[in-house]
Amino acid sequence: NAGVTQTPKFRVLKTGQSMTLLCAQDMNHEYMYWYRQDPGMGLRLIHYSVGEGTTAKGEVPDGYNVSRLKKQNFLLGLESAAPSQTSVYFCASGRGRWTEAFFGQGTRLTVV
Residues at the interface with other proteins (CB under 8 A): 31, 33, 40, 42-45, 48, 50, 56, 58, 90, 92, 94, 96-106
Q: For residues 89 and 32, is the Cβ–Cβ distance under 8 A? A: no
Smallest gap from Cβ 87 to other proteins, in A, equals 14
Instruction: Render 40-101 in DSSP notation, one character per residue.
Output: TTEEEEEEEEEETTEEEE-SS-TTEEEE-SSTTEEEEEESS--GGG-EEEEEEEESSTTS--
Closer of 31 and 64 to other proteins (Cβ):
31
Closer of 56 and 112 to other proteins (Cβ):
56
Smallest gap from Cβ 15 to other proteins, in A, equals 25
Closer of 85 and 90 to other proteins (Cβ):
90
Alpha-carbon gap, residue 70 to 34, rounded angstroms: 16
Smallest gap from Cβ 64 to other proteins, in A, equals 16
